[in-house]
Amino acid sequence: MDHFHYRQNSLFAEDLAVTAIAEQYGTPCYVYSRATLERHWRAFDQAFAAHPHLICYAVKANSNIAILNLLSRLGSGFDIVSIGELHRVLAAGGSPDKIVFSGVGKREDEILAALQIGIRCFNVEVNGELDRINRLAGQLGVIAPVSFRVNPDVDAKTHPYISTGLKENKFGIDISEALHEYRRAVQMLHIKVVGIDCHIGSQLTETAPFLDALDRVLALVDQLQAEGIQLHHLDLGGGLGINYRDEQPPQPAEYITALLQRLAGRDFEILLEPGRAIVGNAGVLLTRVEYLKPTAGKNFAIVDAAMNDLLRPALYSAWQDIIPVNTLSNAEAQTWDIVGPVCETGDFLGKNRLLKLSPADLLAVRSAGAYGFSMSSNYNSRPRAAEVLVDGDQSHLIRARETLAELWATEQLLP
């Protein structure tokens, strides 16, 4: 459930008319709902009840520091994949001891920074990474807490670009090699083995692949225990899907109950790394129709947001709902392709949408809170959009629209 709804034919974010937000901050503009964000995080947290757990929000989904700060205030941990995300979490007031560090390509400087800051755990994804962490921890005279991200070879049944738990994907350590890596790790002077981790993909709409992965992970855990290698936590990654159109993914409570049933009798702390399920439906992208361009073959509605603002439709042919901000319209309903001003045929936000459109109308692209702004760019020298967070009937600018001068602020002319 989210807090974007119509009141008297006009779209509201919580108790604020979206039209007022567009007037105040301009378009394109990302609008987030605090109540929705917090509700989704709590749905994960509360489903665990008394079972030891930590929800580590996947920062890549939406890394605005205001969002990270609100989640941190709820007690959230964070899953990061770069030094940039690490410093964002710190700037937002997140606790180092609740940070897990995933990613296949951790550089030396990133590992050193994370060791100095004292993060909760490194999710090791490459054999050589273990040796690198051990060596750097030795240099600093500290012990590095590690968990191996294993690749359980499970089909997540999602888009191939966001499926990560198959043998042919670059992520994680082949589950058949993991035992060997654990044996190596426990011998290392500056490594402390604390957990095991897997993440099989994103936008999963069924529980079964998660449970298959868990079964494979548990089989490995049993082997480790038989060798006297004890783990403290089990991290099952993120990946729970959301409703973009007619998907019916399990609710967090349903998913977590199924996990806990499978885990019965095992008292590991459970970590999850949800991103999309927390922030996806807590945000919309607000855009204004610039021109209507009916042609012989197609009707195009050219709007002021583009693929640089929201890449998902262009990159994955992702479908996101596009709704009018005001539903009262004298225009006739027609089928439109909603396209941006960028010079690429792939620059669309939605195709074949039945809408009543007039120039200057406001539209909201739904489910844009995750992998929206965080994947945006300056392509075509377009300043990145503003981000606004609504709390009740108040709005807060949490990222100002980029200025033109910022576009080239770090560039240099030759002498």
Q: Do residues 93 and 114 make contact, with C-beta atoms less than 8 angstroms apart?
A: no
Which residues are known binding-site members for pyridoxal 5'-phosphate? Answer: 239, 273-276, 371
Task: Give the phi and the psi of residue 151 in degrees, each rounded to 5.
Answer: -100, 105
In this structure, what token pair is assigned to residue 125? 């994804």
Among candidates 398, 286, 372, which has minimal Cα distance to 13? 286
The answer to whether residue 239 forms part of the interface with ligand LLP (CB under 6 A) is yes
The answer to whether residue 312 forms part of the interface with ligand LLP (CB under 6 A) is yes
Per-position b or e across 6-21, b if 16+ CB within 10 A of its CB: eeeebbbbbebbbeeb
Q: How far is the CB of 81 from ligand LLP (least distance, A)?
A: 7
Among 11, 61, 86, 217, binds ligand LLP (CB under 6 A): 61
Distance separating alpha carbons of residues 376 and 344, to the nearest angstrom: 15
Among 371, 376, 385, 386, binds ligand LLP (CB under 6 A): 371
The answer to whether residue 368 forms part of the interface with ligand LLP (CB under 6 A) is no
The answer to whether residue 276 forms part of the interface with ligand LLP (CB under 6 A) is yes
Q: Which of 17, 166 has the CB closer to ligand LLP? A: 166
| 121 in catalytic set | no
The answer to whether residue 45 forms part of the interface with ligand LLP (CB under 6 A) is no
Residue 50: count other Cβ atoms within 10 Å of its Cβ. Answer: 5
Residue ranges in 181-200 that form contacts with ligand LLP under rule CB under 6 A:
199
The answer to whether residue 361 forms part of the interface with ligand LLP (CB under 6 A) is no
Which residues are known binding-site members? Answer: 239, 273-276, 312, 316, 344, 371
The answer to whether residue 277 forms part of the interface with ligand LLP (CB under 6 A) is yes
Helix (H, G, I), strand (E, B) or coil at 99: strand
Q: Which of 339, 370 has the CB closer to ligand LLP? A: 370
Task: Give the phi and the psi of residue 400 in degrees, each rounded to 5.
Answer: -70, 150
The answer to whether residue 202 forms part of the interface with ligand LLP (CB under 6 A) is yes
Among 22, 31, 54, 58, binds ligand LLP (CB under 6 A): 58
Over the window 89 to 128, marking each residue x when it contacts ligand LLP by CB under 6 A and - when it does not, the resulting string is -------------x--------------------------
Among 237, 283, 313, 369, binds ligand LLP (CB under 6 A): 237
Specify which residues 5 forms β-bridges with: 12
Which residues are known binding-site members for substrate? Answer: 276, 312, 316, 344, 371
Q: Do residues 220 and 178 make contact, with C-beta atoms less than 8 angstroms apart?
A: yes
Per-position b or e across 292-318, b if 16+ CB within 10 A of its CB: beeeeeebbbbbbbbbbbbbbbbeeeb
- Half-sphere exposure for 144 (CA within 13 Å, toward CB): 31
Among candidates 342, 352, 356, 357, which has minimal Cα distance to 304? 342
Q: How far is the CB of 272 from ligand LLP (least distance, A)?
A: 8
Among 113, 162, 258, 397, binds ligand LLP (CB under 6 A): 162
Report how many residues bind ligand LLP under the rule CB under 6 A. 20
- Fill in the amino acid letter for 173: I
Using alpha carbons only, give the angle 205, 211, 217 rounded to the nearest 5 degrees.
Answer: 135
Distance separating alpha carbons of residues 25 and 304, to the nearest angstrom: 14
Among 28, 145, 209, 238, binds ligand LLP (CB under 6 A): 238
Among 203, 207, 287, 308, binds ligand LLP (CB under 6 A): 203
Instruction: Kindly list the catalytic residues.
Output: 343
Footprint of ligand LLP (CB under 6 A): 58, 61, 79, 102, 162, 199, 202-203, 237-240, 273-277, 312, 370-371
